[in-house]
C-alpha cells in the first residue's frame, strides 16, 4: 500500500471519528424550547480544522446519513428522515458546507493562531445560522404547530415584534451566538492548536 492510499484511509477513518464526535456532542444538549442548545459546533469546526475540506465535508455528510438511516444521533437521541425535514433541519443541512469552507479558509491562514482559527469558526458558523433561520422562518410562516406557539410566546416574553422574520433571527440564531462563540468555537480552536503538531504529518 503506497503512502497516498494510507493517507486516504487515515483521513476516512478520522472523518468517521469526527462524525461520531458530532453525534456525541449532539447529546450534550438542553432545551429552552424546540431548538436545542448543543455542543455540535465544537465537533463541526474541529473536523474542519483537523481535516482537508473534502474530508471535513464528508465527516458531516456521514453524520447526516446516520440520521437519515434512523440512528439516534441527532440532538435528544433522535433519528430518521423527519429530523432532516423538521424545524431544525436547516442547521443540519449547513453542517457539510460550513465544515468545508471553514477547512478551506483555515488552510489559507498565514501565521496560524488560536485567535485566527476562532475567527474562522465564528465566520463560517454564519452559514449554519443562515440556513437554520431561513428554514425556521418557513416553519413559522407555513406550518401550524407547537413551535409557532412557542416562538410567539418567547416573542412576548422578550418584548420583540411578533414578526416571523424577527422571531426566527432571535430564537434561531442570536440566542445561540454567545455559547457558540465563547465555548464551542473557542474550544475547537484551542484543541486543534494542541493537536495540529500530532496530526499535521498525516494531513
C-alpha distances (whole Å) from 1 to each of 15, 84, 201 are: 20, 39, 18
Q: Which residue has the higher pLDDT, 161 or 40?
A: 40
Per-residue pLDDT band at 196 (split at 50, 70, 90): confident
Contact 30, 167 (CB under 8 A): no
Residues above pLDDT 90, as percent of the chain: 71
Q: Which pLDDT score, from 0 to 100, does residue 184 have?
A: 98
- pLDDT higher than threshold 80 for residue 201: no
Q: Which pLDDT score, from 0 to 100, does residue 200 have?
A: 63
Q: Which pLDDT score, from 0 to 100, does residue 161 have?
A: 85
Distance in angstroms (rounded) separating the CA atoms of residues 175 and 156:
15
> pTM for this structure?
0.92
What is the number of other CB atoms lying within 10 angstroms of the CB of residue 203? 14
Residue 193 CB partners (closer than 8 Å, separation 6+): 112, 113, 114, 117
Domain CATH for 184: 1.10.1760.20
Total tally of structural domains belonging to the chain: 1
Structural domain including 179 reads 3-199
Residue 180 CB partners (closer than 8 Å, separation 6+): 41, 122, 125
Amino acid at each position: 500500500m503506497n503512502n497516498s492510499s494510507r493517507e486516504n484511509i487515515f483521513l476516512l477513518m478520522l472523518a468517521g471519528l469526527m462524525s461520531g464526535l458530532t453525534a456525541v456532542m449532539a447529546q450534550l444538549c438542553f432545551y429552552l424550547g424546540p431548538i436545542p442548545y448543543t455542543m455540535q459546533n465544537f465537533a463541526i469546526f474541529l473536523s474542519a480544522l483537523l481535516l482537508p475540506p473534502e474530508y471535513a465535508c464528508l465527516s458531516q455528510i456521514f453524520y447526516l446519513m446516520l440520521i437519515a438511516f434512523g440512528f439516534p444521533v441527532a440532538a435528544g437521541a433522535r433519528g430518521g428522515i423527519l429530523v432532516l425535514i423538521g424545524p431544525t433541519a436547516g442547521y443540519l443541512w449547513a453542517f457539510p458546507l460550513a465544515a468545508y469552507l471553514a477547512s478551506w479558509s483555515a488552510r489559507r491562514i498565514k501565521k496560524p493562531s488560536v485567535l485566527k482559527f476562532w475567527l474562522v469558526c465564528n465566520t463560517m458558523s454564519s452559514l449554519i445560522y443562515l440556513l437554520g433561520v431561513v428554514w425556521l422562518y418557513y416553519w413559522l410562516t407555513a406550518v401550524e404547530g407547537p413551535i409557532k406557539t412557542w416562538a410567539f410566546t418567547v416573542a412576548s416574553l422578550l418584548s420583540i415584534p411578533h414578526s416571523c422574520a424577527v422571531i426566527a433571527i432571535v430564537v434561531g440564531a442570536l440566542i445561540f451566538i454567545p455559547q457558540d462563540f465563547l465555548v464551542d468555537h473557542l474550544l475547537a480552536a484551542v484543541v486543534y492548536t494542541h493537536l495540529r503538531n500530532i496530526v499535521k504529518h498525516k494531513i
